Amino acid sequence: MTLALNPQQQAARTWFESLRDRICAEFEAIEREAGSDASFDYTPWDREAPGLNPGEGGGGVRGVMKGKIFEKVGVNVSTVAGEFAPEFAKTIHGAADSPAFFASGISLVAHMANPHVPAVHMNTRYLVTSKSWFGGGADLNPPLPREEDTAHFHAVLKAACDAHDADYYPRFKAWADDYFFIPHRGVHRGVGGIFYDHLECADDAGFDANFAFTRAVGDAFLNAFPPIVRRRMNESWNDEDYRTMLEWRGRYAEFNLVHDRGTLFGLKTGGNIDAILMSLPPMASWS
């Protein structure tokens, strides 16, 4: 990568990459506990856009593991820069008058082998246009919901939010409920979590506060999800459970292909196609 980063951009990039390393190590540890030697395979990529030489627009690394517990999990990090296409720029916060942008972030989706273990999504990101801001969140997507798991996941996220602003959890939970909804099905994608965007960094103090919260969200994910995996990964399941999971995965795929902002952003900015679509499940069913 040949991008010249300022200290804030470099700090964000470094954090997202370090969070990737911690998450992947934890997921591999779970595979070891299950007697599997599955590990992540990492594939670097360069952003492709007209007029750019390799590396000039930044890039990232796609990490994928297929194991005994994690049927398919992808953890992507990217740091890219360039200009939005004119029409797409009109849809991006702060880019309508100037199409130049910088973006760094981490995105994760895990599809599990056991229908009793929830799938999960998490991402955090830092974007700069004529404005700069953080966004992200995490949400739990169980084919067979369990109240204990849902309560644990939300409690950990709420604690992270409350440490920064008492208004964050109710506000960002409601935003997740609204965002992770499939209008044509009339159902939510999962049991929710938090979703936030446009936490603006108008000055150094704003950057520091919003970066601290974004780091807290990443740490909360590591406290929220692995305990659920360990609680459920050895539970028995039957053919009906598996069919339910495949049908639920079909709904998940529909949301990600039709409504997900991250999918659209990646496709519109010359991202790596395999990394963008790693969120899709390895198998799904439409009945």
How wide is the angle at C-alpha 246 spanned by C-alphas 274 and 234, nearest 5°? Answer: 95
8 A C-beta contact, residue 180 and residue 139: yes
Residue tagged 């974004």 (tokens): 214
Task: For residue 198, indicate whether it is catalytic.
Answer: no
Residues in the chain: 287
Other C-beta atoms lying within 10 Å of the C-beta of residue 241: 15
User: Over the range 123-138, which residues count as b (16 or more CB within 10 Å of their CB) and which as e?
Assistant: bbbbbbbeebbbbbbb
Structure tokens at 47: 């952003």
Alpha-carbon distances of 166 from 129, 159, 162, 225, rounded to whole Å: 29, 10, 5, 23
8 A C-beta contact, residue 188 and residue 180: yes
Q: Which of 230, 235, 273 is nearest to 32 (CA)?
A: 230
Alpha-carbon distances of 35 from 29, 32, 39, 40, 225, rounded to whole Å: 10, 5, 12, 16, 20
DSSP state of 115: T
Among 121, 152, 154, 188, the active-site one is 121
The residues annotated with a catalytic role in the active site are: 121
